[in-house]
Amino acid sequence: MSETADFTEWREVVEILRRAVNEERDRELLSLLLTPDERETLLGRVNIVNELLKGDLSQRQISQMLGVGVATITRGSNELKNQSKDTKQWLDSLLSGYRAPEGDS
């Protein structure tokens, strides 16, 4: 019996997730690893990044729309500011493929 954890680095988790995606079992893995509350939180984070990238709403408006604190939006904004222009463009492109067309709600 090992007295240390087998997985100690974030990159290992990412690689496990990558493998699950390649095997088309990512939904199963994420459902197993994340509680329903954590999945909701992750959904909220995706929406925060999406709204920040769109740039149509203030942080306060995003906060009200998503029902989260302004501090949560600010943390997301600060994290986004730390990303390269290329990363932000990639994220915007990735998320825009899932956005509802204008006028659809």
Please tell me whether residue 11 adopts helix, strand or coil conformation. Answer: helix
pLDDT given at position 103: 58
For the chain, domains (ranges, CATH) are 35-96 (1.10.1270.10)
User: Tokens for 80?
Assistant: 């986004």
pTM of the shown model: 0.83
User: Between 36-54 and 85-96, two packed helices, what is the crossing angle to 10 degrees?
Assistant: 110
Q: What is the DSSP letter of 56?
A: -
- 8-28: pLDDT as tens digits: 999 999 999 999 999 999 999
CA distance 32 to 84: 32
| Closest of 90, 30, 77, 19 to residue 51, by C-alpha | 77
Q: Which residues of the chain have pLDDT under 70?
A: 102-105
